[in-house]
Amino acid sequence: MIEFQRVHKAYKVGQREITALEPCDLQIEQGQIYGLIGHSGAGKSTLLRLINRLEEPSAGSILVDGEDVTALSPKGLRQFRQKLGMIFQHFNLLSSKTVADNVAMPLKLAGQMSSNQISSRVAMLLDRVGLTDHANKYPAQLSGGQKQRVGIARALATSPKILLCDEATSALDPQTTAQVLQLLNELNRELNLTIVLITHEMDVIRRICDQVAVLDKGKIVEQGPVAEVFLHPKHPTTQRFVYEAEQLDEDDINSDFERVSGRIIRLTFQGDATYAPLLGHVARETGVDYSILGGRIDHIRDTPYGQLTLSLVGGDADAAIAQLKSAQVTVEVLRG
Amino acid sequence: MNHFFSNIDWFDIWMATLDTLMMLGGSIIFTVLLGLPLGVLLFLTGPKQMYEQKGFYAALSLVVNVLRSLPFIILLIVMIPFTLMITGTSLGVAGAIPPLVAGATPFFARLVETALREVDKGIIEATQAMGASTKQIIFSALLPEARPGIIAAITVTAITLVSYTAMAGVVGAGGLGDLAIRYGYQRFQTDVMVVTVVLLLILVQILQSLGDRLVVHYSRK
């Protein structure tokens, strides 16, 4: 478990003090995939690097499995870092070493395994990420997705319990992103690996995260389970992320609304309610006609959800809304 | 044709070539041994690097710049008492190596510093994140990643040293440069001048193409 207690970070630039991260509290449970989302400069990268102290906190304490890492000696810090994996946006593989040597590097640095043990561990890791055939190639000969898989194998070499991901998919195309996220998802389940990832893409959060914290200007403005934050965003920054992810444009929505009559509501289904044949049922019972203005049925990690915008015409609209509410559907009235 | 080469004593040329090669070999070894750590030190203490030390870096930089701005011919003469202290002589191959090393080391150290700065900072960060010590970062990440750049730096330095060895002839170091000055220039023996210059040219060509090949061999990008 990772715990931030009133951690904050400020830089000194000349005489001025610049706050990178305002005092924040955070709890990340073992086995969770925790997403930190924010625009560039929001402080997410700083927050991630505080965990393995690539950045030193200005104040506060960071507990990892109960141990305060801000109090570690230089030697203790090196040993602690050996138990933590990290992957990067630009992979940061050594261009002078082969794929196998890159993966072997953390093991060689730790110096606790014989070279036989190292090579069998490397072979196993490369097999797990599907790169056995590329063991003797150099990073420059690989595609972006392959490089990131080398990065993941290298990060997991010392069997860490925590993996830090620094914009791990931001340099990859959508298909490769999906594959890398799938791999992270599997590793999280197989190894009960805690994953902390930072991203500026809501889609990454939606696909694999359990929990999310939204950062804006060095502050955590919203945090909680992904479905909660994603389906019912409260802070303007979060709302903007959701809108971007849904490719919604407020002006378009308003002009659509002008073309329909009746009341406009937005329904949010979650879990099994997503698949229930609810709309037709409610329409029959209350005599309301509905038309769908927009919507999406998808998953947040494993939880199905649906979000529909409807206009209701005729019948007993109030009764229809009441029925929907009683069926565990969140109803927002956009136009009364 | 025979008339043109009338002044040439091929045995002298051979001995002078050997002297030049020995001066070059000896000075390049010591230059790398001293300049590589110095370059690493300059890099590590430089602006925005792992061990940024503004005062120390400025002082070290100044020393390096002073040595680099000193004309080599002056350095040769200034170094004489110091050379006597180290080698017991200021003449011959042994007498030439200390000033050659003193002239080339600061130059080489700067090239090493530049080569190390070319290493992607992300790689250093990744190595730190693995829990590497400073020594491990230098030997497992920085130097291997900068290897092509360092080889190129050695090549450039070796070629600079070829022209320095020729100058060292002025203070009695021997070698091809000495032959060129004493016979070719002072006795107007143009044939000697031509032969020594051609030999130096060949030497430079060999060094450059060897260096280029090694750089290509070790480049993985």
**How much of chain A exceeds pLDDT 90, in percent?**
61
pLDDT attached to residue B1: 52
Return the CATH number at B58. 1.10.3720.10
Could you tell me where the DSSP H helices lie in chain A?
A: 44-51, 74-82, 99-110, 115-128, 144-155, 174-191, 202-208, 226-231, 236-246, 250-258, 278-286, 317-326
Query: A109: which chain B residues are within 8 Å (Cβ-Cβ)?
Result: 127, 130-132, 136, 140
Mean of pLDDT over chain A:
91
Of A90, A94, A138, the CB nearest to B145: A94
Residue B1 maps to a domain: no
What residue ranges define each of the domains in chain A, with the CATH number in brackets?
Answer: 2-244 (3.40.50.300), 252-335 (3.30.70.260)
| CA atoms of A57 and A174, how far apart (whole Å) | 34
Query: B126: which chain A residues are within 8 Å (Cβ-Cβ)?
Result: 86, 88, 92-93
Of A92, A110, A138, the CB nearest to B126: A92
Residue B5 maps to a domain: no
pLDDT attached to residue B90: 75
Residue B43 maps to a domain: yes
Structural domain span for residue B196: 10-218
For residue range A51-63, what is the model confidence (pLDDT) as tens digits?
999 999 999 999 9
Query: B128: which chain A residues are within 8 Å (Cβ-Cβ)?
Result: 54, 81
Q: What is the total count of domains within chain B?
A: 1
Residue B158 maps to a domain: yes
For residue range A145-167, what is the model confidence (pLDDT) as tens digits?
999 999 999 999 999 999 999 99
Q: Return the residue in B48, B128, B130 with the most chain A beta carbons within 10 A, the one to mutate for interface testing.
A: B130
- Give residue B146's identity as a one-letter amino acid code: A
* Statement: residue A285 has pLDDT above 80: yes
pLDDT attached to residue A280: 87
Query: What does the pLDDT profile of chain B (221 residues) look like in tens digits?
Result: 556 677 778 888 888 889 889 999 999 999 999 999 999 999 999 998 988 899 999 999 999 999 889 898 888 888 888 888 888 877 888 888 999 999 999 999 999 999 999 999 999 999 999 999 999 999 999 999 999 999 999 999 999 999 898 888 777 777 888 888 777 778 888 888 888 889 999 999 999 999 999 999 998 87
CA distances to A40, A102, A148, A201 from A171, rounded to whole Å, are: 14, 20, 10, 12
Q: Which of A155-164, A194-203, A305-314, B102-111 has the lowest mean pLDDT?
A: A305-314
| CA atoms of A198 and A54, how far apart (whole Å) | 15
Residue B212 maps to a domain: yes
Query: Does the distance separating the beta carbons of B131 and A106 come in below 8 Å?
Result: yes
